[in-house]
Amino acid sequence: MSAAEEIGSVASLWRYPASSLGGERLDAAPLRTDGVEGDRLFGIVDAATGVIAKPDSDRKWHPVPRIAARLDGGALEIKVPGGNWLPAPSDAADKAASSFLGFDAAIRRFEEGTTLEAPRYKKAPIHLLTTASLAELKAQHPGGDPDPRRFRPNIVVDMPRVPGHFPETDWLGRRIAIGEVELEITDPCRRCGFTIIGQDGFEFDADILRTLVRKNRHNLGVYCEVTRPGTVRPADAMRFLD
């Protein structure tokens, strides 16, 4: 395969203004060296303890991804199922989230050097996932629904299935270009219990994670560093640089 050959194109772009809440599909994604602009600026915490949501390990947080989040002119808004968009952080947003979850919760901004920060997102700020891997997961677990929202990617790349393979897992250390942006693929994305949680349109499914444990060493998708910032758009071509 030549360095200039197109290997896929962008199918969808996502950011997650509030960690664990629903993601926001984008028409264009400005990528900086620290990730998608506006990604994971806020978190939701247990108001009684200040502990951040852990839906991967604590069932009380399983409904959280059903709370929608978006940025409107740079300001966060959230919406619980059946509710209206509310500015956050705010008393109204906290009240709506608490009522939906069944316990006191609060939206808070991540702050450097405090107990509420998100260092786990700094190591590799972009998560890339291919439709080829989603198709392989479906082939390995035909009864499941590998909706990309289970995996919270920033960039979903459309490419043909490679039977028996999760292709991007084999690209570690490689450099790619997507439109005007350049990325280095640094790590596999090790999946956690978040992937099994039901959201609007698909149900709880523990076999999603069990399949990835058996078939791809717990992994799906890859983490990337941004080596040349810029804006990515749907249908932008992806190619290898090395």
- pLDDT reported for residue 82: 96
Q: Distance between CA atoms of 81 and 96, rounded to whole angstroms? A: 10
Q: Three-state SS for 167? A: helix
Cβ proximity of 196 and 206 under 8 Å: yes
Q: What pTM did the predictor assign?
A: 0.94
Q: Distance between CA atoms of 135 and 133, rounded to whole angstroms? A: 5
Q: What tens digit of pLDDT does each residue of 151-195 get?
A: 999 999 999 999 999 999 999 999 999 999 999 999 999 999 999
Which residue ranges of the chain lie beneath pLDDT 50?
1-3, 119-120
- pLDDT reported for residue 121: 54
Q: Give the start-end residues of each E strand in 16-145.
A: 24-25, 29-32, 35-36, 42-46, 68-72, 75-79, 86-87, 105-109, 126-130
- pLDDT reported for residue 242: 83
Cβ proximity of 7 and 239 under 8 Å: yes
Give the number of other CB atoms < 10 A from CB of residue 232: 22
- pLDDT reported for residue 113: 61
**Which CATH fold would you assign to the domain 6-16+121-240?**
M1 Pyruvate Kinase; Domain 3 (2.40.33)
| Residue whose entry in the numeric block shows the structure tokens 């009864």 | 143
- pLDDT reported for residue 119: 47
Q: Distance between CA atoms of 153 and 132, rounded to whole angstroms? A: 14
DSSP state of 38: T
- pLDDT reported for residue 2: 45
For the chain, give every domain's residue range: 6-16+121-240, 42-119
Q: Which residues contact 68 (CB under 8 A, 6 or more apart)?
A: 21, 22, 24, 78, 79, 80
